Amino acid sequence: MQKLANLSKLALAGLFSLSLVACGGSNESKTNETAQAAPAAKVEPIEWKMVTTWPKNFPALGTGAEKLATSITEMSGGRLKVKVYAAGELVPALEAFDAVSRGTAQMGHAASYYWKGKVPAAQFFTTTPFGLTAQEMNSWLYSGGGMELWEEIYAPFNIVPMAAGNTGVQMGGWFNKEINSVADLDGLKMRMPGLGGEVIAKAGATVVNMPGSEIFTALQTGAIDATEWVGPYNDLAFGIYKAAKYYYFPGWQEPGSAVETFINKDAFAALPKDLQQIVRAAARQANADMLDEFTALNNSALETLVNEHHVQLKRFPNDVLAELRTASDKVMAEVAANDPASQKVYDSMKAFKEKVMKWHEISERAFINARAGE
Ligand code: CA
């Protein structure tokens, strides 16, 4: 937690006071170009608001938004200042997309699956059950055509998307019932949002939806048998180990959830080219930073959970994973068939996955097995 406190302090140090001047207009971009020719001229900084879907200083996600804002502000030498608003400070969490679309804020930070009601194809850019790992997701986005598709999907909303973080492989979740066979999924009361929830429902479970704040009591009272959350770092901070016996892996439902930043297209177009590149570079840096942070902190949090809190780690049996994989293929095909844009994105992602799986079979997996002596 000391580490978290330090991170929060660092992030908070990057906050700047809010000004109500108009942001991102073409006049400012001309002023900035002039400033490059004559550095002595006083230039008013461009001020952007970043709305997020995270509570203030939420581990890795809320702090990730703060770090991205600080990074843009510092890399631009203060010419582009970004101020972060936690969920509810400027607009409610789930209105962040609309706020950026209409220009109330110039920038947002979220997970794209929050917008699936408005943009069904958006959910594919966070993660898919049994889908791409973080490394594969980044490869698809930056070198496999994914980013172009994402831009195409968001363009009608006047928004430019960028990847801005990744959780890496999550955990399968916390259970008070052992999962020894496919039959144990039958009637299992589990909280799981999104596509993963649809999959586990198809496999026989009863999916219960509830806000994060109710999970702890629901596990303790038996209102639910299980819940998925994130991974050891977030789960330890949340204290779920006090209400559940077993901690299952792997997180088949979220194998590498991408976090996004999204920018009002007019505000982005009005920036001089160098500031546009700074925003892109800062997003790419944030994308790498978050995955590095999750990897390091999950690792140490898992040691604490097992050694100090005596959490029982368990792997899902192979036949259970096979059942969930089959259900995933069906759910994904159904979701894609209901929306042409989703079908286009799913086809691209699926084709990429099939190819990269062959390469990773003889590279990542072969090496990891060899390293472990298997
Ligand atoms: Ca999750």
Q: How far is the CA of 171 from the centre of ligand 1 (A)?
A: 8
Q: How far is the CA of 25 from the centre of ligand 1 (A)?
A: 38
Distance from CA of residue 269 to its chain's centroid? 25
Question: According to the model, what pLDDT value does residue 364 have?
Answer: 97
What stretches of 127-267 adopt beta strand conformation (E)? 159-166, 173-175, 189-191, 206-207, 226-227, 246-249, 258-264
Question: According to the model, what pLDDT value does residue 371 have?
Answer: 97
Q: How far is the CA of 229 from the centre of ligand 1 (A)?
A: 4
Q: How far is the CA of 228 from the centre of ligand 1 (A)?
A: 6
From first to last of the 374 residues of the chain, give the pLDDT tens digit.
344 333 333 332 222 222 222 333 344 444 445 445 555 567 899 999 999 999 888 888 899 999 999 999 999 999 999 999 999 999 999 999 999 999 999 999 999 999 999 999 999 999 999 999 999 999 999 999 999 999 999 999 999 999 999 999 999 999 999 999 999 999 999 999 889 999 999 999 999 988 778 899 999 999 999 999 999 999 999 899 999 999 999 999 999 999 999 999 999 999 999 999 999 999 999 999 999 999 999 999 999 999 999 999 999 999 999 999 999 999 999 999 999 999 999 999 999 999 999 999 999 999 999 999 99
Question: According to the model, what pLDDT value does residue 319 have?
Answer: 97
Q: How far is the CA of 170 from the centre of ligand 1 (A)?
A: 6
Question: According to the model, what pLDDT value does residue 43 have?
Answer: 80
- Cα distances from 87 to residues 58, 108, 125, 332, in angstroms, run 10, 11, 21, 30
Q: How far is the CA of 230 from the centre of ligand 1 (A)?
A: 4
Closest-CA residue to 50 (of 118, 97, 3, 112): 97
Distance from CA of residue 168 to its chain's centroid? 9
Q: How far is the CA of 300 from the centre of ligand 1 (A)?
A: 19
Q: How far is the CA of 314 from the centre of ligand 1 (A)?
A: 17
> Distance (Å, rounded) from C-alpha 193 to C-alpha 258?
16
Q: How far is the CA of 290 from the centre of ligand 1 (A)?
A: 15
Q: How far is the CA of 79 from the centre of ligand 1 (A)?
A: 37
The residues, ordered by sequence, that sit 6+ positions from 214 with a Cβ below 8 Å of its Cβ are none
Q: How far is the CA of 364 from the centre of ligand 1 (A)?
A: 24
Question: According to the model, what pLDDT value does residue 78 have?
Answer: 97
Q: How far is the CA of 107 from the centre of ligand 1 (A)?
A: 24
Q: How far is the CA of 21 from the centre of ligand 1 (A)?
A: 38
Q: How far is the CA of 256 from the centre of ligand 1 (A)?
A: 10
Contact, 153 vs 348, CB < 8 A?
Answer: no
H or E segment to which residue 336 belongs: helix 318-337
Q: How far is the CA of 293 from the centre of ligand 1 (A)?
A: 17
Q: How far is the CA of 250 from the centre of ligand 1 (A)?
A: 12
For the stretch 311-366, pLDDT in tens is 999 999 999 999 999 999 999 999 999 999 999 999 999 999 999 999 999 999 99
User: What is the per-residue DSSP string for 34-46?
Assistant: HHHH-TTS--PPE
Q: How far is the CA of 80 from the centre of ligand 1 (A)?
A: 33
Q: How far is the CA of 236 from the centre of ligand 1 (A)?
A: 14
- Cα distances from 356 to residues 121, 128, 143, in angstroms, run 22, 15, 12
> Distance (Å, rounded) from C-alpha 149 to C-alpha 140?
10
Question: According to the model, what pLDDT value does residue 13 have?
Answer: 29
Q: How far is the CA of 112 from the centre of ligand 1 (A)?
A: 13
Provide the whole-model pTM: 0.86
Q: How far is the CA of 82 from the centre of ligand 1 (A)?
A: 28
Question: According to the model, what pLDDT value does residue 38 have?
Answer: 54
Q: Which residues pair with 85 in a beta bridge?
A: 51
> Distance (Å, rounded) from C-alpha 168 to C-alpha 296?
11
Q: How far is the CA of 253 from the centre of ligand 1 (A)?
A: 7
Question: According to the model, what pLDDT value does residue 3 have?
Answer: 40
> Distance (Å, rounded) from C-alpha 273 to C-alpha 277?
6
**∠ Cα 324 325 327 (to 5°):** 65
Q: How far is the CA of 255 from the centre of ligand 1 (A)?
A: 9
